[in-house]
Amino acid sequence: MSKNMSSIAVVGMQWGDEGKGKVIDLLSEEAQHIARAQGGNNAGHTIVVQGKEFRFHLIPSGILYPHTKCYIGGGTVIDPASLLEEIGSLTSQGIEHVKRLYISMYSHIVFPYHRLVDQLSEKLKGGAAVGTTGKGIGPCYTDKTSRCGIRLADLLNPEIFQQRLKAAVALKNRDLEKLYDHPPIAWEPIYEEYSTYAKKLLPYAAPVEELLYTASKKGEKILFEGAQGALLDVTFGTYPFVTSSCTLSGGVCSGLGVGPSRVGQTVGVAKLYTTRVGNGPLPTELSSDELAHFPDHSSSREVGTTTGRKRRIGWFDAFLLRHTTCLNGVDSLALTKLDILDDLDEIKICVGYKHCKMFPATLEELGKAVPVYESHKGWKVSTRDVSVYDDLPDLAKAYIRRIEELCEVPVSLVSVGPEREKTLWLDRFFDEQ
Ligand code: GDP
Ligand code: IMO
Ligand code: MG
């Protein structure tokens, strides 16, 4: 089988919310299959098409094109109520999804006790809380690796489901009472509620791994959709202020059951500044004075899609990006939100941290990191109506070229607005068939 250059992994390069949803939607015009590998409804992706906003949490952002097939992989964790709500909103917005949405039998199911433990453990951690989305993602992945989780395949079989749920709740009650001083919960109402979800999810359950393998063998165009961002990766992120899955390009393989030879190229999505939602270090975080000169959270669209929290904002960190380029083996960068910088007098790029040769592995070092900045003059003119890269102001092009140089990877796309058409293409993505 020859190497498949028709497939692209799209991953976040910072702390999430880089604009992956927009990039996936754009590339979906040419793709046949879009597959989400990991995470759950902690993710939130906003797409704007003809003035209409669509928000997705688990459903791949390629669903808006009627010709695509979308997959939710075995590496994801599924909150059925939330997923069914998303599916319902597709229906109410007239988006046909029958025979277009497939869910892996291997995906794990999020239960109410996962959300409960998420919230209780955050409370217990007090000042050291991660600042999770509270959706039960971490506790669900914990059960998966502790081998007491329940998968879609289990949920769909009433007897197996009952057996597994009873055992899981018994274990959970020990934790609830002993660790959290919380009264025990009953398995019966959960069984009732989730049995109705099982019936509704049944039509979507499919051998996602086989379907993707077959599509790949035929050379069909596949997009592998990553959620969150590299610095939230459970192994290489800013641990413990991370999510609980592998958010890197490598996570695409383990999350979808595809071999590495099936991933042709990797596109890293990065914002032209940095944001972070939740706790943990953000070395280039703006000072209050700098923040006062930055566009406000609502006009910069820096309010979380999932939790409505305001995102923390920092300057573009090229030192960090060079590091995440390495972790992801990125072939090109899709840079978003250039337009948000349009009115600034001065724009900074972090080119390194004082006394750090490598990106720090410990939180303590990262927390103390002193960024070394390079100052760039702002272009002070709107880029939102620019439709070809060459027409960008020279200062904006110089800013982008410098980022390309510092990160040692070519830029393939620049985004100047949330809408599809606000995109400057520098490169082709899919090979000709
Ligand atoms: P994701 O989680 O990586 O998909 O990103 P989100 O959707 O959570 O956050 C990105 C936000 O910025 C969304 O509201 C997008 O509509 C918006 N957005 C994406 N690209 C651009 C851009 O180039 N300019 C502006 N102004 N907004 C953008
Ligand atoms: P998308 O796909 C930004 C963050 C949370 C918290 C940490 C752990 O939209 O880029 P969790 O609930 O996952 O246990 O929370 O991870 N987080 C995200 N931040 N974008 C996301 O997804 C995120 N998903 C989780 O804020 O800091
Ligand atoms: Mg998001």
| Amino acid letter for position 340 | I
Of 201, 218, 251, the position where a domain reaches its end is 201
Distance from C-alpha of 162 to C-alpha of 159, rounded to nearest angstrom: 5
Judgement on whether residues 394 and 293 belong to the same structural domain of the protein: yes
Provide the residue-wise pLDDT of the chain in tens; the chain has 433 residues.
444 679 999 999 999 999 999 999 999 999 999 999 999 999 999 999 999 999 999 999 999 999 999 999 999 999 999 999 999 999 999 999 989 999 999 999 999 999 999 999 999 999 999 999 999 999 999 999 999 999 999 999 999 999 999 999 999 999 999 999 999 999 999 999 999 999 999 999 999 999 999 999 999 999 999 999 999 999 999 999 999 999 999 999 999 999 999 999 999 999 999 999 989 999 999 999 999 999 999 999 999 877 889 999 999 999 999 999 999 999 999 999 999 999 999 999 999 999 999 999 999 999 999 999 999 999 999 999 999 999 999 999 999 999 999 999 999 999 999 999 999 999 878 865 4
Residue 431 lies in a domain: no
- Long-range contacts of residues 212-220, Cβ cutoff 8 Å, at least 24 apart: 212/33, 212/35, 212/71, 212/256, 212/257, 212/258, 212/262, 213/258, 213/262, 215/32, 215/33, 216/4, 216/6, 216/7, 216/258, 216/262, 217/1, 219/4, 219/6, 219/433, 220/6, 220/32, 220/33
Ligand 2 centroid–CA 75 distance in Å is 16
Domain hosting residue 187, numbered range: 108-201
Q: What is the pLDDT of residue 9?
A: 98
Judgement on whether residues 98 and 132 belong to the same structural domain of the protein: no
Judgement on whether residues 140 and 251 belong to the same structural domain of the protein: no
Residue 145, classed as helix, strand or coil, is: helix
Ligand 1 centroid–CA 373 distance in Å is 25
- What tokens does 331 get? 């072939």
Ligand 3 centroid–CA 218 distance in Å is 32
Number of the ligand closest to the Cα of 16: 2
Which numbered atom of ligand 2 lies nearest the CA of 12?
A: 10
- List CB contacts of 308: < 8 A, sequence separation 6 or more: none
Ligand 3 centroid–CA 226 distance in Å is 11
- Total structural domains within the chain: 3
Judgement on whether residues 166 and 258 belong to the same structural domain of the protein: no
Judgement on whether residues 274 and 401 belong to the same structural domain of the protein: yes
Query: Would you tell me the crossing angle of helices 208-217 and 249-256 to the nearest 10 degrees?
Result: 120
Number of the ligand closest to the Cα of 21: 1
Judgement on whether residues 275 and 374 belong to the same structural domain of the protein: yes
Judgement on whether residues 241 and 282 belong to the same structural domain of the protein: no
Pocket of ligand 2 (CB under 6 A): 12, 15-17, 42-45, 130-133, 135, 137-138, 227-229, 232, 243-244, 277-278
Judgement on whether residues 373 and 281 belong to the same structural domain of the protein: yes
Judgement on whether residues 82 and 213 belong to the same structural domain of the protein: yes
Task: Tell me the CATH number at 29.
Answer: 3.40.440.10
Residue 294 lies in a domain: yes
Q: What is the pLDDT of residue 306?
A: 79
Which numbered atom of ligand 1 lies nearest the CA of 416?
A: 23
Judgement on whether residues 224 and 297 belong to the same structural domain of the protein: no
Residue 430 lies in a domain: no
- Counting every residue written for the chain, the total comes to 433
Q: What is the pLDDT of residue 433?
A: 44
- List CB contacts of 321: < 8 A, sequence separation 6 or more: 13, 14, 268, 270, 403, 406, 407
Dihedral of the CA atoms 8, 13, 19, 20 (nearest 10)?
30
Residue 1 lies in a domain: no
Task: Tell me the CATH number at 119.
Answer: 1.10.300.10
Number of the ligand closest to the Cα of 421: 1
Catalytic site residues?
17, 45
Residue 433 lies in a domain: no
> What's this model's pTM, rounded to 2 decimal places?
0.97
Q: Is the CB of 339 under 6 A from ligand 1?
A: yes
- List CB contacts of 80: < 8 A, sequence separation 6 or more: 109, 110, 155, 194, 197, 198, 200, 201
Block residue for tokens 């077959």: 214
Q: Are strands 346-353 and 316-317 parallel, antiparallel or unpaired?
A: parallel
Q: What is the pLDDT of residue 428?
A: 78
Judgement on whether residues 190 and 115 belong to the same structural domain of the protein: yes
Residue nearest atom 20 in ligand 2 by C-alpha distance: 16
Judgement on whether residues 256 and 308 belong to the same structural domain of the protein: no
Task: Tell me the CATH number at 335.
Answer: 3.90.170.10
